Amino acid sequence: MGTFGFMKSKQAKNCRTPDWTDFIWVVYSVFYFIEPIARNKRGYWIQFAVVYAIFLAIYTGMVFARSRRTLYLLLGGLTALGIYYFPYNQAAYGMFLFVAAWTPFITESLPICLGTFAAMIACIVGEGYYYHLNPWSWVLGIFLTIVVGGGNLFLSQRVRANSKLRLAHEEIEQLAKLAERERIARDLHDVLGHTLSVIVLKSELAGRLFSRNPERAAAEIADVEQIARQALTEVREAIRGYRAEGLTAEIRRAHSVLDAAGVTLVCEEVPLALGPTEESVLSLVLREAVTNIVRHAQASRCVLRFQEQDGQTVLVVEDDGRGGIREDGNGVRGMRARIEALGGRFAVNTSPGASHGTRLTIQIPTGQLPAASAQLHPA
């Protein structure tokens, strides 16, 4: 009788759309007609017609059932009908097979499934023994109950596992999309926040110099144009997730920006080699740190220090500005998220008052540093 493939749609749900293809499996009930045809008695045919009509009604109810409780009740009714009719028609053990076939797709409980199989086998054995039925009929019924029930139990577990795997994949896909949106948002914040701050700074400088030093003002405006063009490229890189220039170029950019803002930058112990991911993250963190110094710190000096501690890369960004950071803004939260995503640590040490400033300590578990230190000065 196969393993009743219609069961793939019979998941344990409180509500389902009826599947008309489920009725194709009623074809297995053709075996119920063998004994009435062999006996060919009017009374027996009437009894068979009533029983078969009840069977079709129960089966239809199972197909259209909208709750697990209803399915359980209908399976109980089908079991009772099989118990009644099996002594009269030895092919009616097929009703017990339908019960065994449906149960694994109604419940995920292995004990309930195995208990149902055992109960169906007990019905077949008990009635076969009590009514002295042909042993071949109830032995065949036991065998098919085990095969059909066990096959559908395996099939139901596989269907549920595939369903859970599909849901897990969908969830992972959604999380990946969310992470990518957050990454792009952080990148755009870092790139545009930094670039627009530089444009504002240089525009204000050009405005002040316009009447006193037109040539210097024109040079600053030219820088604004160049920076704006570069910003367009950086936005495209941010969307693609690439950072081609690297940390060295970011340090040079920091020199230029801080110099325009009147801040002296000193860089110590520049790392020689970093992985592309680590270098990209440190570049973005450095960019955001420099942007915050220009915007908020009111500093005159900034020091960058790269260190190696227990095989980890440490970047310290320290300024002598006004300090006093009380809570993380979007930029600080973005930096922290990037570093923690690499398994690193991000710390902010700040105190109010002049010349105390703010110190950012970034630690990531990778990177190689040179033994000797080098010092870079603004160009």
Residue 170 pLDDT exceeds 50 = yes
Q: What pLDDT score was predicted for residue 239? A: 59
Residue 281 pLDDT exceeds 90 = no
Residue 77 pLDDT exceeds 80 = yes
pLDDT band at 299 (very low <50, low <70, confident <90, very high): confident
What's the burial of 276, exposed, middle or buried (CB within 10 Å: 0-12/13-18/19+)? exposed
Q: What pLDDT score was predicted for residue 45? A: 92
Residue 177 pLDDT exceeds 70 = no
Residue 11 pLDDT exceeds 70 = no
Q: What pLDDT score was predicted for residue 18? A: 60
Mean pLDDT for the stretch of residues 275-294: 83
Q: What pLDDT score was predicted for residue 54? A: 94
The Cα–Cα gap between 282 and 94 comes to 70
Mean pLDDT for the stretch of residues 83-97: 89
H or E element that contains 44: helix 42-64
Q: Does 341 or 58 have the greater pLDDT score?
A: 58
Inter-CA distances, 42 with 38, 88, 301, 354, Å = 12, 14, 109, 109
* Mean pLDDT (the chain, rounded): 79
β-bridge partners, 350 = 358
- Where exactly are the structural domains of the chain? 5-173, 247-379
Supply angle C-alpha 323, 327, 328, rounded to 5. 100
Q: What pLDDT score was predicted for residue 354? A: 46
The proportion of the chain whose per-residue pLDDT surpasses 90, expressed as a percent, equals 14
The Cα–Cα gap between 42 and 313 comes to 93
> Three-class SS of residue 266?
strand
Q: What pLDDT score was predicted for residue 169? A: 72
pLDDT digits (tens, 9 = 90+) for 321-361: 887 666 777 778 888 888 888 888 999 887 654 456 889 99
pLDDT digits (tens, 9 = 90+) for 204-259: 877 887 778 888 878 878 887 777 777 777 766 665 554 446 788 888 888 888 88
- pTM, 2 dp: 0.46
Residue 315 pLDDT exceeds 80 = yes
The DSSP secondary-structure symbol of 269 reads S
Residue 53 pLDDT exceeds 90 = yes
Q: What pLDDT score was predicted for residue 245? A: 61
Map tokens 């896909």 to a residue.
173
pLDDT band at 17 (very low <50, low <70, confident <90, very high): low
pLDDT digits (tens, 9 = 90+) for 122-157: 998 988 888 888 888 888 889 988 998 888 899 888
β-bridge partners, 307 = 314
Closest Cα to residue 199, out of 248, 238, 256?
Answer: 256
Say whether domain 247-379 belongs to CATH 2.40.33.20. no
